[in-house]
A = this chain, B = another copy of it.
């Protein structure tokens, strides 16, 4: 498609993903058919894989980026089926619904899972993590960088330091679905072994891609073990990704040509500034939104700003305002925001996504005004 594509006016999707997409990214979704092994597509996929190394801040040649047709959830299968063997102890740090779902996935593949659950709106105390690692030998630990259900951000750097000190052989697995591209993640420096995300989040591409990054030791572990999955097998995918990155087509399962082409466009746009500039921009817009929300007399779900994510905000509804009414009022004004999904708090809060394109396009200011108007209409003072 020509780069001149302009999307028509539409309701702005400001949930914590799928997010709004740039015209160029959406235009690339309509790229005419290319064979998955054509020179044109091989060049696209090669660029994507090389740029993912930059996105994950990794320069380790032993580490490996992967892009599969699928969703973020598939990344949990990849981690569970390739890095953990039945009976292995896994420590899951839970900051909400998605952390718990990852634990469920691990259990399906036979892991012996210990879930440590944070207070609602808070993170798991570092002391608790230290104690757990001292008391038991874990094959892996999972950290949900940002749990999309609570908007709580975990301190991956600090947790990784503890793991490296107390139990260096434990694999560090990070669910970065709602963080990669908006929160800093230093894959090599922090010693992360596996980090997963999905296209429709801060990476700014339509849903349909499972994107993940594995350390050299994670890849080695996966290649050495007996397969317990076919489509999600790193044994199958590793040579394919290496081939594409070196400029050669290869086949295991057909890649999502158009969505990967859109991913190329989005990564080019993301990397046009430094990642640190991008994180700072998100932090600024996020802080401003949270401050506006608090000025309206509302309370955010995270217990303090330190543990509040920058790509989304979860907000308690004020007295007398029901979620469907607020979501309906915002929808009439042209915005889609999300309800709450934490089991303990369903119907008590709502969530606003502010990632990627919307942050740069000024959508958040517009939404803030619409939120204020909607609350007034609904009787909130």
Chain B residues with CB under 8 A of A17: 254
The chain B residue with its CB closest to the CB of A75 is: B231
**B32 & A7 in contact (Cβ 8 Å cutoff):** yes
Chain B residues with CB under 8 A of A210: 69
**B18 & A32 in contact (Cβ 8 Å cutoff):** no
Chain B residues with CB under 8 A of A198: 254
**A1 & B10 in contact (Cβ 8 Å cutoff):** no
Main secondary structure of the interface of A (DSSP, over half): loop
Residues from 9 to 48 in A contacting B, C-beta threshold 8 Å: 10-13, 15, 17-21, 26-27, 29-36, 38
Instruction: Give the contact stretch, choosing among A128-136, A255-263, A274-282.
Output: A255-263
**B229 & A36 in contact (Cβ 8 Å cutoff):** no
Number of copies: 2
How many Å lie between the Cα of A145 and that of B235 in the bound state?
28
Which residue in B27, B253, B258 is a CB contact (below 8 Å) of A74? B253
Which residue in B21, B35, B68, B208 is a CB contact (below 8 Å) of A32? B21
**B77 & A229 in contact (Cβ 8 Å cutoff):** yes
Interface check A338, CB cutoff 8 A: yes
**B8 & A231 in contact (Cβ 8 Å cutoff):** no
Given A2-B8, A69-B207, A208-B259, 12 further pairs, Cβ under 8 A:
A1-B5, A34-B336, A69-B70, A69-B209, A70-B74, A108-B233, A198-B254, A206-B259, A207-B254, A207-B256, A256-B256, A256-B259
22 A–B contacts from the bound complex (CB under 8 Å):
A1-B30, A5-B30, A10-B33, A12-B33, A13-B35, A19-B33, A26-B31, A34-B336, A69-B69, A69-B209, A69-B210, A70-B70, A71-B253, A71-B254, A71-B256, A73-B252, A73-B253, A73-B254, A77-B231, A198-B254, A208-B259, A229-B229
